[in-house]
Amino acid sequence: MNITFPHLGNTYIAAKVLFEGLGVDYTIPPLSSKKTLEIGCLYSPDDVCLPFKIMIGNYVESIQRGADTVLITGSCGPCRFGEYCELQKKILLSLDKDIKFIVIDEPAKIGIREFLNRLSMVAKDSKLSKAKKIKALSMAVKTINLIDNIEKECRFFAGFEKNKGEFARLLKTVKLEAIEAKGAEKTLKVLEEHYEKLKKIEIDNFKNPIKIGIIGEIYTIIDPLSNMYIEDILMNLGVSTRRTLYPSWWVKNTVLSGLKINFSKIYKESKEYLGLCIGGHARECIGEAILNYKHGFDGLIQIFPVGCMPEIVSKAILPDIERRYGIPILSLVVDEMTGEAGYYTRVEAFLDLIEGRKKLCI
Amino acid sequence: MYLGIDVGSVSTDIVVLDEKLNVMHKLYLRTKGRPIKAVQEGLYELSKYYKDSDIKAVGTTGSGRYLTKVLVGADIAKNEITAHAIAAINLDREVRTIIEIGGQDSKIITIENGVVTDFAMNTVCAAGTGSFLDRQAERLEIPIEKFGEYALKSKNPVRIAGRCAVFAESDMIHKQQLGYDVSDIIAGLCNALARNFISNVAKGKDIKPKIFFQGGVAANIGMKKAFEEILNMEIYVPEHHDVMGAIGAAILAKEQIEDIGKTSFRGFRIYDMSVKPNTFKCNGCSNMCEIVELKENDINIGYFGDKCGRWSRVAV
């Protein structure tokens, strides 16, 4: 068994730690690129959402490198993501690739027993004792929390740095070094060292950079290829960004909701507008919009793929939040056809708009 | 004097503003897919009237802003949304809404107290923008300048499906085959495009008077009338509506130069330089940006097109 998985932000670093800790064969798909997207578009239905296409591209590139099992998360609906695994399996089968899928659904939906059963399938080939397997899993969880925290802090403090580009450089090197490190322990060590370095980067507390919250559909805001590297671009422009939806957030949220002890602030804030889960992360989008306002952010950028049902609903709600709280919101819709020029023009104009408002202290 | 250059998809506009921001000179050239040539032609024209030392600052805007910035050595390259807004606010502090329809995109900008509060751009289709109208005028064999007059002649505009450029054209052909009057069809088209603009681009935006109509399409009085009828508000078309982007760029350049001091303008002489762009893929990371390198007589004058600044920051 050689396990692969679709890319989602920094999960590949945590996956590496997990599989190396377990002693299981694995393949990390090459970082998503235009080529990945091309492969994905070739084999996917045209109308399906962008994440689906990139994921298919990831699988195919991994299978070429020897993978035979796909590990993904599910959601059991209600948005299209709930059907991804079935459809993707069929597409791969039609390409004469009989690939096994291990779908990690929320324990709340499939029950704790089935959840643990599926987790154990991942470690089937591992010869280690149960205690060591659990240790590997806990190291992976620690990894994802650590790398996501590093990224979060880099992106937020980038607006405050004294020497331009230090946080961007650190973020780039930590990922490169982490993936090249041999073994689970060494990878974690690389992360810990960089986290220490990060704390030492000089920041200027008197700076007043533009602060932007990134909200919207979880995959497109995490995956830089789908959102055309928006966070990197904003970072280069000296803008501080904040995004709550990281893979580590997802892990925590999933576990807590499985244990029915999730009292996240996000849901409290969004309740007035969206009381029910309508699939995807629409409630999180609304809740985050309000929370970002309360944290003193200057503007919000919502990103979602063409045809994303939950985000279309939240897009319709956002103008209300814009008027009520007086926070500017820019909605960007992406797919493989998105033109770069128009996209960046909008982002640039949005930053100008915020700067103009800041000058007048609105 | 301040130079503003707006390199758009269809037209390249160049203006020269004096100290008090009055338009001294304006040029409206066709880009024809060769932005470098269009800018060079414009500068050649201007070199007859001005010396290099007359120009205190240069600003560029439009989709060709980065290329032009490197080419002419501009002090600032700003997006066209900001440029249009700055030009309008400078002309009239009362302006609250700007409808701008250019060659391939249409925008709405809302303004409060002289500050941009919201904007939107067409996303899915270019129906209703300049190049589409251009094409229809060509097909009907009516000069584009006369398009508006035809629309005004109409008494019973027909209804045209304006959601998509291709379908709008099929619908127009269909109406022609049924024998409708050309001016009724043109008026119907203007109405359809204005309706499409209001329900698509301007969806969810507060349209408040005073409204400015800018961009090349504002020359079309048929479109102006269609907007006035749909919004039931008066629409103002500023005198220099076709070069407002360039005016905005020049104003922004003036503001910029107050901060940085000296212009990096490379002079009018670039009109007879042989400037060639060369593109290559950067292999620095998985982004694989396509980098454009500008060469003047085989000497590198600058790079752009990268996302991380690795190339564009290279001092040449």
pLDDT, tens digit (0-9, with 9 covering 90-100), for A43-57: 999 889 899 999 999
Tally the domains of chain A. Answer: 1
Is B116 at the interface with chain A, CB within 8 A? yes
pLDDT for B315 equals 44
Domains of chain B: 1-91+240-272 (3.30.420.40), 93-237 (3.30.420.40), 274-316 (no CATH)
pLDDT in tens, B231-278: 999 999 999 999 999 999 999 999 999 887 888 898 898 888 888 888
Confidence (pLDDT) at B104: 81
Give residues with Cβ within 8 angstroms of B225, minimum separation 6.
B151, B152, B190
Does residue A362 register a pLDDT over 50?
yes
**Measured distance CA(A143)–CA(B314) in Å, rounded:** 36
Categorize the per-residue pLDDT at A77 as very low, low, confident or very high, splitting at 50, 70 and 90: low
Burial of B48 (0-12, 13-18, 19+ CB in 10 A): exposed
Look up residue A338 and give its amino acid.
Answer: T
pLDDT > 70 in chain A, percent? 98
CA B67/CA B203 separation, integer angstroms:
33
Which tokens is B151 given? 């629309």
CB contact at 8 A, A187 and A181: yes
Which residues of A are less than 8 Å from B89 in CB distance?
A: none
Q: Which of A94-103, A121-130, A257-266, B207-216 has the lowest mean pLDDT?
A: A257-266
Residue B261 neighbours by CB under 8 Å, 6+ apart: none
Residue A175, in any domain of the structure: no
Highest averaged pLDDT of the listed ranges A52-66, B110-124, B137-151, B279-293: A52-66
Give contacts of B115 with chain A, Cβ < 8 Å.
Answer: 353, 356-357, 359-360, 362
Widest Cα–Cα separation across chain B? 64
Distance from the A111 Cα atom to the nearest Cα atom in chain B, whole angstroms:
39
B316 — pLDDT class (breaks 50, 70, 90): very low
Say if A30 is an interface residue toward chain B (CB within 8 Å). Answer: yes
B165 touches chain A (CB under 8 A): no
At A251, list the tokens: 């892990």
Residues of A in contact with B78 (CB under 8 A): 348, 352
Q: Average pLDDT of B97-103?
A: 91
Q: What is the pLDDT of residue A336?
A: 81
Question: In angstroms, rounded to a whole number, what is the distance separating the alpha carbons of residues B305 and B212?
Answer: 33
For A241-257, what is the mean pLDDT?
88
Instruction: Give the CATH number of the domain where residue A35 resides.
Output: 3.40.50
Mean pLDDT, to the nearest integer, of B193-198? 88
What was the pLDDT predicted at B127?
Answer: 64
CB spacing of B79 vs A345 below 8 angstroms: yes
CA dist B55 and B71 (Å) reads: 16
Tell me: pLDDT of B217 over 50.
yes
Q: Does B121 touch chain A (CB under 8 A)?
A: yes
Which residue of A236, A341, A353 is in closest CB contact with B116?
Answer: A353
Q: Are A230 and A258 in contact (CB under 8 A)?
A: no
Residue B24 sits at φ, ψ, to 5 deg, of: -90, -35
Residue from A312, A345, A348, A361 to probe the interface with B (highest B Cβ count within 10 Å): A345
**A–B: how many Cβ contacts below 8 A?**
64
The answer to whether A68 and A39 have CB atoms below 8 angstroms apart is no
**A158 domain-assigned:** no
Share in percent of chain A as helix, strand, coil (round to 5): 60, 10, 30
Residues B222 and B190: beta-carbon distance below 8 Å: yes
Residue A57 resides in a domain: yes
Residue A61 lies in a domain: yes
Q: Which domain holds residue A126?
A: 3-137
- Average pLDDT score over chain A: 90
Nearest to A290 by CA among A276, A271, A303, A309: A271
Question: Is A172 within 8 Å of A38 (Cβ atoms)?
Answer: no
Asked if B123 lies within 8 A of A342 by C-beta distance, the reply is yes
Residue B33 pLDDT greater than 80, yes or no: yes
Report the candidate in B19, B20, B7 with the shortest Cα–Cα distance to residue B54. B19
Mean pLDDT of A129-138: 90
* Spatial CA neighbour of A8 closest among A358, A250, A293: A250
Q: Can you give the pLDDT at residue A263?
A: 61
Q: Using CB atoms, pick whichever of A33, A322, A357 lies closest to residue B286.
A: A33
**Are B101 and B223 spatial neighbours (Cβ–Cβ below 8 Å)?**
yes
Residue A34 belongs to a domain: yes
Place of tokens 């490190």: A181
CB B308 to CB A236 under 8 A?
A: yes
List the one residue out of B112, B120, B118 whose CA is nearest residue A353.
Answer: B118
Q: Distance between CA atoms of A25 and A15, rounded to whole angstroms? A: 11
Mutate to test the interface with A, among B61, B105, B116, B285 (most CBs of A within 10 A): B116
Q: State which residue of chain A sits closest to B307, comparing Cα positions.
A: A233
Angstrom distance (rounded) from CA A283 to CA A267: 7
Partners of A345 on chain B (C-beta within 8 Å) are: 63, 79-81, 121
User: Is residue A197, in this structure, part of any structural domain at all?
Assistant: no
User: Cα separation of B269 and A188, whole Å?
Assistant: 58
d(Cα A129, Cα A263) in Å, to the nearest integer? 35
* Rounded percentage of chain A residues whose pLDDT exceeds 90: 63
Residues 6 or more apart from B253 whose CB is under 8 A from it?
A: B2, B3, B4, B57, B58, B59, B74, B75, B76, B263
Structure ipTM: 0.82
Lowest mean pLDDT among A321-330, B81-90, B139-148, B292-301: B292-301
Q: Which among A262, A305, A258, A307 is positioned nearest to A287, based on CA atoms?
A: A262
pLDDT at A266 over 80: yes
Structural domain includes residue A98: yes
Q: How many angstroms away from the CA of A338 is the closest CA of chain B?
A: 9
pLDDT above 80 for A347: yes
pLDDT of residue B260: 79
User: Predicted confidence band at B92 (pLDDT cuts at 50, 70, 90)?
Assistant: very high
Rounded to whole angstroms, the Cα distance separating B164 from B192 reads: 10
Phi-psi label, residue A106: left if phi above 0, alpha if psi -120 to 50, beta otherwise: beta
Instruction: From chain B, pick out residues whose CB is under 8 angstroms from the CB of A32.
Output: 286
User: Is A58 a domain residue?
Assistant: yes
**Which range is least confidently modeled, A107-121, A172-186, B61-75, B301-315?**
B301-315
For an interface test with B, give the residue of A353, A355, A359, A361 to mutate (most B CBs within 10 A). A353
Interface of A with B in 337-356 (CB under 8 A): 341-342, 345-346, 348-350, 352-353, 356
Shortest CA distance to A79 belongs to which of A215, A213, A219, A214?
A219
Chain A residues 231-260 within an 8 A CB cutoff of chain B: 232-233, 236
Residue B90 host element (H or E): helix B80-91
pLDDT by residue (tens digit) across A273-292?
998 888 888 999 999 999 99
Which residue has tokens 């982490």? A178
Give residue-wise pLDDT tens across range B74-85.
Answer: 999 999 999 999
Given a contact cutoff of 8 angstroms between Cβ atoms, the answer to whether A203 and A160 are in contact is yes
